[in-house]
């Protein structure tokens, strides 16, 4: 039996209270409808914030605590369905730097074929690849470790996900150049003393060039070969 407007209003208030209390909404047709309404309201509020810093703070301090219990209950349960809350939590976890949980839940979402929100042009694998690579570039430039998240995502790119050639090229290029970084974070073949590392870097750059002939690795590959020649001659 369909609910009256008054019943719908009371159900909406109860759903909001459940989320505010950091409790999970149950997976029923009514609660899922209310979940979508509440989620759309939260997303609209988020988009109205003008500053990126404020949006990140809202995701970390308000939205994730509000929605994590519902998504955790979904993951622990047996029912599977299109779940926008799961997808948004993956996005918010990435934006707030919680990469481990974000990647764990992204694996689940991708395996289930969950789709990105309408305003996102990419698939979830492409979004994850672009986001993690952008993060790795920043962390590497600061001299910070990019593991285990870089290798974990790179393994998916190599073995599981089917992505556009340009995305693959960027990943293989980064992986190759990363092996050549000096203490300042700059890729320089001349600082590498190990031929095997140089050959590994060159193989990665060659794969990047295979995916995209305009990957911009030709000069570095020449420097790698020159360094290999110098080391083997010695």
Q: Could you read off the pLDDT of 33-44 as tens digits, one per residue?
A: 888 999 999 999
In terms of domains, do 115 and 171 share one?
no
Mean pLDDT value across residues 39-62: 96
| Per-residue model confidence (pLDDT) at position 1 | 46
pLDDT range class, residue 4, cuts 50, 70, 90: low
Cα distances from 145 to residues 124, 150, 191, in angstroms, run: 24, 9, 19
Number of independent structural domains in the chain = 2
pLDDT for 158: 96
Polymer length in residues for the chain:
234
Q: What is the mean pLDDT of residues 226-234?
A: 91
Does residue 79 share a domain with residue 19?
A: yes
Look at residues 120, 151, 179 and tell me which one is the last residue of a structural domain: 120
Mean pLDDT across the chain: 93
One domain for residues 21 and 114: yes
Percent with pLDDT over 70 in the chain: 95
Q: Give the range among 16-30, 82-96, 146-160, 218-232 with minimum mean pLDDT.
A: 16-30
Are 132 and 164 within one domain? yes
| pLDDT given at position 22 | 84
Most confident of the following: 22-26, 121-125, 139-143: 121-125
Return the pLDDT at 24. 87
Question: Per residue in 145-194, pLDDT tens?
Answer: 999 999 999 999 999 999 999 999 999 999 999 999 998 889 999 999 99
Q: What is the pLDDT of residue 15?
A: 84
Based on the fold, state whether residues 203 and 136 are members of the same structural domain. Answer: yes
Do residues 15 and 26 make contact, with C-beta atoms less than 8 angstroms apart? no
Q: Are residues 113 and 213 in the same domain?
A: no
Domain that holds residue 102: 1-120
- The predicted-structure confidence for 57-108, as pLDDT tens digits, reads as follows 999 999 999 999 999 999 999 999 999 999 999 999 999 999 999 999 999 9
* The pLDDT of residue 3: 62
Q: What sign does the CA torsion over 75, 8, 119, 134 have? A: negative
The dihedral through the CA atoms of 138, 91, 74, 18 has a sign that is positive
Report yes or no: 20 and 38 within 8 Å, Cβ to Cβ. Answer: no
Is the confidence at residue 110, as pLDDT, over 90?
A: yes
* Residue 181 per-residue DSSP state: B
Same domain, yes or no: 136 and 211? yes
Contact at 8 Å (CB) between 49 and 58?
yes
Query: Which residue, 120, 146, 162, sits at the end of a domain?
Result: 120
Specify whether the CB–CB gap between 38 and 15 falls below 8 A. Answer: yes
Backbone angles phi, psi at 122, to 5 degrees: -100, 165
Q: What is the pTM of this model?
A: 0.91
Both 131 and 210 in one domain: the answer is: yes
Domain match, 68 and 135 both? no
Based on the fold, state whether residues 97 and 142 are members of the same structural domain: no
| pLDDT for the residue 184 | 85
Number of Cβ within 10 Å of residue 153's Cβ equals: 24
Residue 29 has pLDDT above 70, yes or no: no
| 106 shares its domain with 138 | no
Mark which of 68, 97, 120 sits at the end of a domain: 120
Residues 3 and 39 reside in one and the same domain: yes
């Amino acid at each position: 039996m369909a609910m009256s407007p008054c019943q719908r209003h009371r159900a909406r208030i109860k759903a909001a209270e459940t989320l505010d209390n950091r409790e999970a909404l149950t997976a029923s047709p009514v609660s899922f409808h209310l979940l979508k309404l509440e989620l759309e309201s939260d997303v609209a509020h988020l988009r109205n914030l003008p500053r990126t810093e404020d949006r990140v703070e809202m995701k970390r301090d308000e939205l994730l605590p509000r929605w994590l219990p519902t998504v955790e209950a979904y993951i622990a349960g047996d029912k599977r369905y299109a779940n926008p809350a799961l997808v948004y939590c993956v996005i918010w976890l990435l934006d707030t730097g919680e990469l481990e949980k974000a990647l764990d839940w992204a694996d689940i979402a991708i395996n289930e074929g969950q789709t990105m929100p309408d305003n996102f042009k990419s698939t979830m694998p492409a979004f994850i690849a672009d986001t993690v690579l952008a993060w790795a570039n920043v962390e590497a430039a600061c001299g910070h470790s990019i593991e285990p998240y870089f290798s974990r995502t790179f393994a998916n790119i190599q073995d599981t996900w089917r992505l556009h050639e340009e995305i693959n090229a960027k990943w293989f290029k980064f992986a190759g150049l990363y092996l050549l970084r000096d203490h300042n974070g700059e890729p320089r073949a001349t600082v590498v003393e190990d031929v095997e590392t140089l050959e590994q870097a060159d193989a990665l750059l060659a794969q990047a060039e295979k995916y995209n002939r305009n990957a911009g690795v030709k000069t570095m590959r020449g420097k790698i070969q020159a360094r290999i020649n110098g080391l083997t001659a010695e």
